[in-house]
Structures are given as structure tokens and as C-alpha cells.
Structure 1
Amino acid sequence: MTDYKTLIDAETWAFIERTNSFYPPDTIDYTIAQQRAIYDRMCREFFAGYPDAVTAETTIIAAHDIPIRIYRSATPNKAAVVLYIHGGGFILGGLDSHDDVCAELCAPTGFEVVSVDYRLAPEHLHPAAFDDALHAFEWAASTYDRPVVLCGDSAGGNLCAAVSHATRGHAKRPIGQVLIYPSLGGDRSRGSYVTHAEAPMLTMRDLEFYKHVRTGGADGSGDIALSPLADADFTDLPPTVLITAQCDPLSSDGEAYRDRVLATGGHATWFEEPGLVHGYLRARHTVGRARASFNRIVAVVSVLGRGGWTW
């Protein structure tokens, strides 16, 4: 039995308790509409506002009817653009759920950040979210005269990786990808899936629920767009940084994905943030460990956007 009392510090426990007060652990037992209302309220409670130098414009990718929000800095850096894909188990979230996170990525890097409002399950089953993410990347790659860095958390990390696998060999492909506690379709019988099956903030029961809703219960074995770790070929992927939380059943996916990329001679590194839990991006202003991790994410995005690799 994992002893979370020793792994997780007091600041992080306070964040967990605050999150649970808005988004109780049994929320998956509610209807999808109720879950979205609860999640949206939680996101509003944690909203930290924009840095002074950032403005945002909400628009649409007309060819595919995909809402996006574009964040711009008063001191722009034209080296790259960041395509951000949000988390939420493929059933929750949108342009508002990660609004401040995107603004805080924009300010220190200077990069324009494009947030994608992809279609959600169960109204739109897989591969709808993947299709939207791919279309959004293709739009960004053709619209901007600079390379694209993919960045996403949880479900969004899954979609970023799926886009990277789908665009290998394309004339325009991502210059890098930053995957934050991503769900990549790893082996659920081992590693963190077992050690942290009952972790605070995300459990194996939650993961099974989200997977079932995303697919409508269909068997997606071998579908790379669903589970990037199912790919038999990890060559020619963009430089990849994986950042996971130690107390999260998904953490082993970061290690497994890194190892697959390195085995082909590619660039990949994995950071497992000690004592942190799934969803800790919302703790970046109140938890020292989360703040340090978010600063790492910003630095990684900045380096990859300049075409660098220092790990």
C-alpha cells in the first residue's frame, strides 16, 4: 500500500483537499452534464488571471469549425508558436479550463500560444478529438511562418503524441512536444498503474471510465491515435520532454515513451516530479513543487521552440 502521507507534502495535501471540495472524487458517478458543470466551476475557482503583458483572441479554424484561443505577448518571440491541447479525460474542458495556464506559457516565452477546443466524448467518440487536434496542427503549421511546438496535459498530452506520430514524414511537423502527465496507453498491469492505482486526484477506476466514454466501449487495441505507445515504430518523432507526477497511475507512461524514443536514437527525456499528483498545474501558485515543475515546463517549451536540446 503506497503511503501518500509521506510522499505528499502539506502544501500538496492542501491543494488536493481544495480540489476535492469543488470536484469530489466520486464525480465520475454523476452524469456527463453534471461532471462538466462541476469541472467548470472548479476551473473558475482556480483561475489565476493573465499576466499583464498577455492578450487573447478567441476565433475559429473555419475549415473545420474548431474554436481556438490565441495568446499574444507584448514582447513577442517569433521563433515558434505553441499549440496547447488541454486535459479533461476527453470529456471535460475547453478554452476556459486552461485559459490562465496558456497565458502563463505565453508571457515568459513570448511565443504565441494557440489553445484548441477539440470535440468531446461521448457526443463525439474517438477519433473526433484526434481529428480536431491534427487539423489544428495542420492549420497552425500552414498559417504561421515558424515551427510549432506541441504542448498538452493529460488527455491533451495523448493527443499531442498522437499528432506527432501521425505527422512523421510530413513537410511540416512539430519541432518538439511537451507531454505533461500524459495518458499514452501504457501497460496497465505494471508500474505506476499498480503502485498508484488509488492515487489522490486520479485512480484506475477513473482511467477505465474515461477510456470507455472516449471509445463508446469499442476495442481500440493497436490504434496509435488512441494509444501512442501501441505504435511499433518510434523513429523520426520530434524531440520529446515528458513531465509526470510521481503519485499518478499514468507516470509510467512517461518512462515507457521516453525509452521507446531513445531506443531508436531519438531525443527524449522524462522528469517524474516527486510528491506531485495528477492535475498539479492548478497548484502552480500555491505549491512549491508544482511551481518548480511549471517553471521547468516553461523553460522546456522555450528551449524546444528555439530548436534547442539540452537534456
Structure 2
Amino acid sequence: MALTVEAILGLLDEPSRGYAETLLTNAPPPPYHRYGPSMMRAVFDAKGVPESTSKGLVTSESIVEKDGTRVPVRCYREVLDTPAPALLYMHGGGFVLGTLDGVDSLCRRLAETTGCVVVSVDYRRAPEHVYPAAADDCLAVYDWMLTDHERLGDRPDRVALAGDSAGGALALSVCTSLQQAGRGLPRCLVLAYPATSASFRGASWEAFALAPVLCRSDAEWFWDSYAGPEVRDDPRAVPEVSAELGSLPPLLVLWRRSGRTPLGLRTLRRDGECRGRRRATTDDAGVLHGFITEVDAVPAAREALEDAAAFVRRFTRLDP
């Protein structure tokens, strides 16, 4: 039985509850997909790059794929004098929403705390560009990081991948592509509540079908917009069906769980557990889906960022 919105709000910590209440007050009533992609982007996509006290270098690039497609990226670097490890970040947003600006604060902090050259990719979004557009874009940027490393200033032998929600699925897609081609894998993965499954059954989805920010009907619409039924058996599209993911590099899965309920707010709990139970995981109490990007406002996001940074430092600074 689905919890009411009021009951779900009662499970949140104070910063997350405030964010959810503001969204519910200022945005049209969910589910949001009924308003179409343009309205959803007007509500959720970040407007403008946040102010930062970072002393590092932030640059914009444009990667050209073999078919001539240009993929914008934003690069963050704190270590300027020597080659540094690299981290490719893929933003969330259900393959439909999300921008470079929306993860700007997070990527700046990742550059500061990991010492990596952080590359944030502005992949093509659905429904205008369906699978495999986003997956191809992320793989192309990963290859660029390996081949153009002298100009970028990164160490091609010390690359990590990270992503939240749909970005987590795209990070796993990169790994599947590499394994299918018999290529080496990145040093490690950090996935925040990754969307690994296109199925929406189970106790968590039932309980939190009306969850603020991401309800079940919106989640179903996101997947249908990106990868329809005809490609649901493609492991690059839906990580859950990939046989190659049994041999992933070291993996940290960040999800959220409330201590006041066995289920918590894990509407993507089943997805994370598909891969996370065999690897390192952290649980963040009383927060919403999407919390990791709110590093300027939500303490749990900053704590999760510290866990992620320590994990990346551990595996990207090993000797080759």
C-alpha cells in the first residue's frame, strides 16, 4: 500500500523536507511527466552556475564523436602542476532532465576533495534523443579522457566513473561497452541511487509510489522516453540485464534509508541492491531521491560526498 505524501514528508530530515515542501508548493502537482519535457525542465533544471570560492580551473570543452556529434563537457581541476587522476561524472534526471549547471557544485567539490580532474558530461537527452545517444556520448567522453590526457592533464591509467540515478545507469553502460570490447575497466565506480532496472515492482516502489521528486509513474515515463520495450534486453540500455556486470571494478553505492522504517525512501532500493550488496554501500537517513546534488543545502549530501571522495582517492591513487 502506498504511503501518503504527508507520511513520506514525515520521514524526511529537516533540510530535505523543506526542499520537498517548496517543490510541492511552487511546482504543479505531480506526476510531472503529464506536463511534458519542456515544463519539467523549467521546474527541475538548474538556472545559472552557482558561485564558488574554488581556486581551481574550470573549463568548457566540446568533444566530437565519430559521427560528428558534439558533446559539451565541463572540466574541473584543482591540481594544476602535475597530472592527476580523473573522474567522469554523469548527471541524473531520468535521461530527460539534468544539466551541467545542476551538478556544478557537486563536481567542484569532487575536484577539491578527490584531487581528480573531474569531467562532467552534457549527454544528449530523451525524448529528443533516445537510446543509444546518451550511452554513446558518455563512452565517447571516456575515450577522449584517455586519448587527450596530456591537454586535459589527467592520468589515463587512473580514471574513475561516477553518476547519480540515470547517470549511474550510464556509468554502468560505459563499463558494459568496455567489457564487450575486451577493454580495461576504470579504477572504481561511485553510483548514487543508480537506475539499473526498468522494472517498477517490489515493496519499495509500492510504498513510495507517490514520493516527492520521483514518483513511480514519472520513473516509468522516464525509462519509456529513453529506452522503449524494444531495447530492454540490451545490456548497454538496462544495466540489470548485463552479464558483464559480475566483474565490475570496486564499487560504492550511495542510497538513502530512514532509520524510522525498514523501507525508508528507497524508491530505487531494488536497483541499488542488484549490484550494491556485493560491494561497499552507505545509507543516508531521511533524504529524497536526488539528494546527492544538494551539497550546498543538505548535510547528508555532504556526508555522502565525503564517503565518495575517500573511496575515489583510495582506488585512483594506487600504483599502476
TM-score, with length taken from structure 1: 0.86
Shift of 1:35: 1.9
Confirm or deny: 8 A CA contact 2:192 2:253 kept in the other structure.
yes
Please list the CA deviations of residues 77-103 of structure 1 after superposition, one character each: whole Å capped at 9, or x if unmatched: 744100011111111122222112111
Q: What are the superposed Cα offsets for residues 185-230 of structure 1, whole Å, 9 maximum, x if unpaired?
A: 1653214222322222211111111011113x44333221121111
Q: Deviation of residue 36 (structure 1)?
A: 1.8
Aligned amino acid, residue 14 of structure 2:
A
Structure 1 residues 141 and 236, CA gap change in structure 2 (3 angstroms): farther
Query: Which of the numbers 254, 272, 275 marks the counterpart of 2:272?
Result: 254
Q: Which one of 58, 61, 82 corresponds to residue 59 of structure 1?
A: 61
Task: State the one-letter code of the partner of 1:80.
Answer: P
Aligned to 2:111: 106
Q: Does 1:85 align with 2:90?
A: yes
CA contact (8 A) 1:48 1:100 kept: yes
Does the alignment pair 1:72 with 2:77? Answer: yes
Q: CA deviation at 1:19?
A: 3.6
**1:155 Cα shift?**
0.8
- Counterpart for residue 265 of structure 1: none
CA distance in 2, matches of 1:13, 1:298: 26
**Alpha-carbon distance change, 283 to 202 in structure 1, aligned in 2, over 3 angstroms:** same
Matched, 1:95 2:100: yes
- Within 5 Å, which residues of 2 pair with 1:147-158? 147-158=158-169
Q: Return closer, same or farther for 1:161/1:126 CA change in 2, 3 Å cut-off.
A: same
Query: RCO (CA 8 Å, sep 6+): is it higher in 1 or 2?
Result: 2
| In the alignment, structure 1 residue 183 sits paired with structure 2 residue 195 | yes
Tell me the C-alpha RMSD between the 2 structures. 2.4
Given that 1:86 and 1:152 are in contact with CA atoms closer than 8 Å, whether structure 2 keeps it comes out as: yes
Displacement after TM superposition at 1:174 (Å) = 1.0
Unaligned runs of 5+ residues in structure 1 are 263-267
Distance 1:299 1:77 in 2: 20
Question: Which residue of structure 1 lines up, in the alignment, with residue 288 of structure 2?
Answer: 277
Bigger shift: residues 295-304 or 143-152: 295-304
2:222 corresponds to which of 195, 210, 228: 210
Instruction: Say which of 136, 147, 159 aligns to 1:131.
Output: 136
Aligned residues: 297
Structure 1 residues 137 and 21 mapped into 2: Cα distance closer, same or farther (>3 Å)? farther
| Residue of structure 1 in register with 2:316 after alignment | 305
Structure 2 distance, partners of 1:301, 1:191, is 32
Aligned to 2:306: 295
What's the secondary structure of 1:30's corresponding residue? Answer: helix
Does the 8 Å CA contact 1:202/1:248 hold for their aligned counterparts? no
Contact 2:110 2:305 in 1 (8 A): no
Q: Are residues 274 and 9 of structure 1, via their aligned partners in 2, closer, same or farther at CA, if it must alter by over 3 Å?
A: same
User: In 2 relative to 1, CA 58–237 (structure 1 residues): closer, same or farther, beyond 3 Å?
Assistant: same
Does residue 167 of the first structure (1) align with residue 178 of the second (2)?
A: yes
Separation in 2 of the partners of 1:75 and 1:154? 31
CA drift at 1:158: 0.6
- Mapped partners of 1:14, 1:200: distance in 2: 12
CA contact (8 A) 1:149 1:174 kept: yes
- Cα deviation 1:274-311 (Å, max 9, x = unaligned): 21110112433333323322222222222232249xxx
Q: 1:20 to 1:306 in 2, by over 3 A?
A: farther
Cα distance in 1 for partners of 2:129, 2:246 equals 31
Alignment partner of 1:199 is 2:204: no
| 3-state SS in 2 of match to 1:276 | coil
SS at structure 2 position matched to 1:125: coil
Once the two structures are TM-superposed, the CA of residue 115 in structure 1 deviates from its matched residue by: 0.7
Indicate the percent of aligned positions where both proteins have the same amino acid: 31
